[in-house]
């Protein structure tokens, strides 16, 4: 008995936009290579019906000062480099990062309140210490973000770094800086398809080309809202693939920040024995959050633990085989 199986291939009308980070000497930058994400013509890793021209990539997060609130598991993994942003950047590159995500944490009003000058110096140090393309985050406070990210954009002129986060109440200054200095922006919205689309439209209305926008749908860690992020990303992917041009930006997710905020990863005191060995659990908490979000459409995962990064890179490689 020969059984014919009905065909179930999807053909989509849209695809994810390609966005390139970094610029080499040929493009008037100083990076050793560029990193392009996006370009998928279907849902993640479905090679039987679509192409994944650019596999997702891993960014490792570093900070311009020793992070006050990082778990001992993370601090132990990185060792002394957390006191020296240049050494940290070099170490992250050595650990296999595709991108460096620099957090200008010392600019936070309560954690140093440093300004534009310090930001420029930090960005310069990191550009000199690593040849990878850069993502630069402000401290997450509108005024300070504008101050230090504009400085970062100026200092890294031509390097095609991504600066973030642009949010609905604070995006104009950052978008203008990105336009002036040839950078990209990260548009962050709170787990909502329409808000994500709206912010992409607002940013595009300022004439920043869509090829220079990444979107961050807001990450919920495993056990802390992961399912909301997972589903919003699937919905954004489907909207993009069915041709909605303003949802076609590659997605970046801040898995490290969120996973290491959870009690499961952060601490080992006062937790049930049933949670198991702390170190293994913590690294898996981050890697598993990343795995789930890769399956739902992430193009860039920002991680904190080097071991989680190597596991996630391995996962990406295995999912890309056959593509």
Task: Name the residues that contact another protein, by CB under 8 A.
Answer: 1-6, 8, 43, 45-48, 69, 110, 140, 220, 222-228, 230-231, 234-235, 238, 261-264, 266, 272-278, 280-281, 283-285, 287-288, 291-292, 295-296, 311, 314-315, 318-323
- Give the distance from CA 242 to its chain's centroid: 24
CA-nearest of 250, 26, 24, 31 to 134 is 31
Least distance CB 181 / another protein (angstroms): 28
Cβ distance to another protein smaller for residue 34 or 320: 320
Cβ distance to another protein smaller for residue 120 or 261: 261
Cβ distance to another protein smaller for residue 185 or 308: 308
Q: What are phi and psi of 110, to 5 degrees?
A: -100, -5
Tokens at 131, concatenated: 């040849």
- Cα–Cα separations (whole angstroms), residue 223 to 70, 262, 276, 285: 19, 8, 16, 9
Beta carbons of 152 and 125 less than 8 angstroms apart: no
Reduced to 3 states, what is the DSSP secondary structure of residue 117?
helix
Interstrand relation of 162-166 and 99-103 (parallel, antiparallel or unpaired)? unpaired
Least distance CB 286 / another protein (angstroms): 10
Least distance CB 24 / another protein (angstroms): 30
Least distance CB 159 / another protein (angstroms): 29
Cβ distance to another protein smaller for residue 20 or 310: 310
CA-nearest of 122, 128, 130 to 95 is 130
Cβ distance to another protein smaller for residue 14 or 140: 140
Least distance CB 261 / another protein (angstroms): 6
HSE on the CB side for 16, CA within 13 Å?
Answer: 34
Cβ distance to another protein smaller for residue 20 or 53: 53
Tokens at 175, concatenated: 């978008």
Reduced to 3 states, what is the DSSP secondary structure of residue 298?
strand
Least distance CB 57 / another protein (angstroms): 17
Beta carbons of 203 and 248 less than 8 angstroms apart: no
Least distance CB 207 / another protein (angstroms): 30
Cβ distance to another protein smaller for residue 127 or 239: 239
User: Cα angle at 208 between 119 and 158, to 5 degrees?
Assistant: 45
Cβ-based neighbours of 246, under 8 Å, separated by 6 or more: 197, 200, 201, 204, 210
């Amino acid at each position: 008995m020969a059984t014919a199986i009905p065909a179930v291939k999807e053909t989509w009308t849209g695809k994810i936009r390609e966005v390139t980070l970094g610029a080499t000497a040929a493009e008037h930058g100083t990076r050793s290579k560029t990193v392009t994400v996006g370009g998928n013509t279907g849902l993640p890793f479905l090679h039987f019906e679509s192409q994944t021209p650019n596999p997702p990539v891993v960014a490792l997060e570093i900070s311009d000062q020793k992070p006050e609130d990082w778990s001992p598991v993370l601090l132990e993994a990185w060792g002394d480099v957390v006191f020296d942003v240049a050494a940290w950047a070099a170490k992250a590159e050595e650990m296999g990062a595709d991108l460096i995500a620099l957090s200008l944490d010392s600019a936070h009003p309560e954690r140093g309140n440093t300004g534009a000058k310090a930001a420029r110096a930090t960005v310069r140090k990191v550009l000199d210490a690593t040849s990878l393309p850069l993502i630069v985050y402000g401290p997450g406070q509108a005024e300070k973000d504008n101050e230090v990210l504009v400085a970062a954009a100026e200092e890294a002129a031509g390097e095609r770094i991504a600066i973030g986060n642009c949010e609905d109440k604070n995006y104009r200054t950052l978008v203008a800086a990105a336009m002036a200095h040839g950078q990209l922006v990260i548009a962050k919205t709170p787990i909502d398809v329409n808000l994500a689309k709206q912010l992409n439209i607002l940013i595009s209305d300022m004439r920043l080309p869509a090829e220079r926008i990444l979107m961050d749908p807001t990450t919920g860690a495993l056990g802390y809202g992961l399912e909301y992020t997972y589903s919003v990303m699937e919905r954004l992917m489907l909207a993009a693939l069915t041709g909605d041009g303003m949802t076609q930006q590659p997605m970046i997710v801040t898995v490290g920040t969120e996973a290491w905020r959870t009690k499961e990863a952060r601490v080992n005191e006062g937790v049930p024995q049933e949670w198991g060995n702390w170190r293994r659990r913590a690294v898996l908490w981050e890697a598993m959050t990343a795995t789930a979000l890769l399956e739902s459409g992430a193009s860039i995962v920002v991680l904190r633990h080097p071991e989680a990064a190597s596991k996630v890179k391995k996962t990406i490689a295995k999912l890309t085989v056959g593509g």
